[in-house]
């Protein structure tokens, strides 16, 4: 099954290893006997402040994993990226590091493009030079489609928007064009990376895949207002903070996929790689939820009413309804499917934030807890 030498551990480099997907990939492959090299410089704290800090996750991985090594490397640092790949010679590279926010990209466009596009190119070229047979899995995004999904005719229901056209009954497929639509600055940087990953597959014959994620989530997500829809929404409820709804009456829909199912997908592609593959990877219709529906679900779990206010202005380029069509990935990687339901996801995230909130209270000096 593996591609490493007989008797030797297979090697994996994971960028963004302290983030949601990166940390799940670290744990998943560590449990399966891989030697895992994490790359993360906690730039999420720079992007989002203290609430976006992921050092806690880095420390958790270091304590829990058997064969994990953390490397404090910025993916924009071309020389250090080249040196790391040359030294490790990995069998698999999972590129999950990114600047993930629409809003932040508009205020820091150089940082956004340098991380998302430049960092991806650094890793691709390092792989081509020093580990050309490695499988390269890139965490892309459904934002590569820009606002084109908003051109699909919709029907307004009591708690959500949905597709009026039966063609989209299973969601949006990879056939949707990524051209001539409004992407946001963030969407453009991620589209640039996506196309480059495809090109290194097609032009150089490398084994690459772009996984165009919907809402990727799970209990290890450090959700903030500018990124991490479901984690942040649940966090607001648990901490009894006010949540802001931006437009579309709170009926905008997202499909949610647990990080574990993402890691499993990467493993299956590693076993059956192709060049320049592209898959939409989300929760599908079964794991789709609107903001209003998410409010009701979390209220039932915590017993706390959701505090929120409505801003009658949608975020630029934001999708009104996005559900991933999983037909292609299910056909290409038989045996892969969603294993964590929407109920499972809500249960895990609520429990995680409740645990973290209790831990934070215990960490405060006594006079601050009164």
- pLDDT tens digits, one per residue of 268-286: 999 999 999 999 999 999 9
Query: Ramachandran region of residue 301, left (φ > 0), alpha (ψ -120 to 50) or beta?
Result: alpha
* Mean pLDDT computed over every residue of the chain: 92
* 46 vs 320 pLDDT, higher one: 320
pLDDT on residue 360: 62
DSSP annotation of 307 = P
The total of other beta-carbon atoms located within 10 Å of residue 49's CB is: 10
Q: What is the mean pLDDT of residues 192-217?
A: 97
- pLDDT tens digits, one per residue of 221-253: 766 665 678 999 999 999 999 999 999 999 999
Q: Going by DSSP bridges, is the β-strand pair 135-141/215-217 parallel, antiparallel, or unpaired?
A: unpaired
DSSP output for 71-133: E---TT-HHHHHHHHHHH--SEEEE------HHHHHH-HHHHHIIIIIHHHHHHHHHHHH-TT
Q: Which residues of 261-281 are buried (b: 16+ CB within 10 A; e: fewer)?
A: bbbbbbbbbbeebebbbbbbb
- pLDDT tens digits, one per residue of 94-113: 999 999 888 889 999 999 99
**pLDDT of residue 264 exceeding 80:** yes
pLDDT on residue 370: 26
- Cα 9 from Cα 36, distance rounded (Å): 10
Q: State the pLDDT confidence band at 49, using cuts at 50, 70 and 90.
A: confident
Asked if 314 and 182 count as a contact pair (C-beta separation under 8 A), the reply is no
Work out the percent of the chain whose per-residue pLDDT is above 90: 83
Q: State the pLDDT confidence band at 361, using cuts at 50, 70 and 90.
A: low
Q: State the pLDDT confidence band at 220, using cuts at 50, 70 and 90.
A: confident
**pLDDT of residue 321 exceeding 50:** yes
Which domains, and CATH codes, for the chain? 11-360 (3.40.50.720)
Q: Give how far Cα 23 sits from Cα of 7, 87, 125, 258, Å.
A: 26, 22, 24, 12
**pLDDT of residue 339 exceeding 90:** yes
The total of other beta-carbon atoms located within 10 Å of residue 110's CB is: 8
Asked if 142 and 296 count as a contact pair (C-beta separation under 8 A), the reply is no
pLDDT on residue 8: 86
Asked if 19 and 76 count as a contact pair (C-beta separation under 8 A), the reply is no
Provide the 3-class DSSP secondary structure of residue 27. Answer: helix
* 200 vs 4 pLDDT, higher one: 200
- Cα 13 from Cα 2, distance rounded (Å): 16
Q: What is the mean pLDDT of residues 293-313?
A: 96
Asked if 216 and 345 count as a contact pair (C-beta separation under 8 A), the reply is no
pLDDT on residue 3: 43
Q: Going by DSSP bridges, is the β-strand pair 92-95/68-71 parallel, antiparallel, or unpaired?
A: unpaired
- Cα 12 from Cα 24, distance rounded (Å): 13
């Amino acid at each position: 099954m593996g591609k490493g030498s007989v008797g030797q551990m297979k090697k994996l480099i994971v960028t963004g290893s302290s983030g949601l997907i990166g940390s799940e990939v670290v744990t998943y492959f560590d449990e399966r006997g891989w030697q895992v090299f994490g790359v993360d410089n906690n730039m999420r704290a720079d992007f989002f402040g203290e609430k976006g800090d992921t050092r806690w996750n880095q420390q958790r991985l270091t304590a829990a994993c058997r064969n994990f090594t953390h490397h404090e490397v910025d993916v924009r640092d071309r020389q250090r990226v080249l040196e790391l790949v040359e030294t490790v010679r990995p069998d698999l590279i999972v590129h999950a590091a990114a600047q993930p926010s629409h809003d932040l990209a508009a205020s820091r466009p150089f940082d956004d493009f340098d991380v998302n596009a430049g960092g991806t190119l650094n890793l691709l070229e390092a792989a081509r030079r020093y580990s050309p047979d490695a499988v390269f899995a890139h965490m892309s995004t459904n934002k590569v489609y820009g606002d084109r999904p908003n051109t699909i005719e919709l029907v307004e229901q009591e708690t959500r928007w949905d597709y009026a056209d039966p063609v989209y009954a299973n969601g949006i497929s990879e056939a949707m064009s990524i051209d001539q639509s409004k992407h946001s600055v963030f969407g453009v940087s991620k589209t640039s990376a996506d196309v480059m990953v495809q090109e290194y597959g097609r032009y150089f014959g490398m084994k690459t895949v772009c996984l165009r994620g919907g809402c990727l989530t799970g209990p290890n997500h450090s959700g903030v207002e500018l990124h991490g829809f479901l984690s942040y929404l649940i966090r607001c409820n648990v901490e009894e903070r006010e949540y802001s709804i931006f437009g579309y009456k709170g009926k905008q829909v997202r499909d949610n996929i647990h990080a574990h199912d993402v890691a499993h997908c990467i493993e299956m592609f590693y076993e059956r790689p192709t060049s320049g593959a592209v898959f939409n990877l989300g929760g599908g219709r079964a794991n789709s939820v609107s903001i209003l529906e998410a409010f009701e679900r979390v209220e039932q779990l915590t017993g706390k009413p959701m505090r929120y206010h409505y801003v009658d202005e949608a975020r630029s380029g934001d999708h009104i309804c996005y559900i991933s069509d999983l037909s292609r990935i299910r056909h290409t990687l038989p045996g892969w499917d969603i294993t964590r339901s929407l109920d499972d996801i809500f249960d895990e995230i609520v429990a995680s934030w409740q645990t973290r909130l209790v831990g934070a209270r215990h960490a405060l000096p006594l006079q601050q807890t009164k």
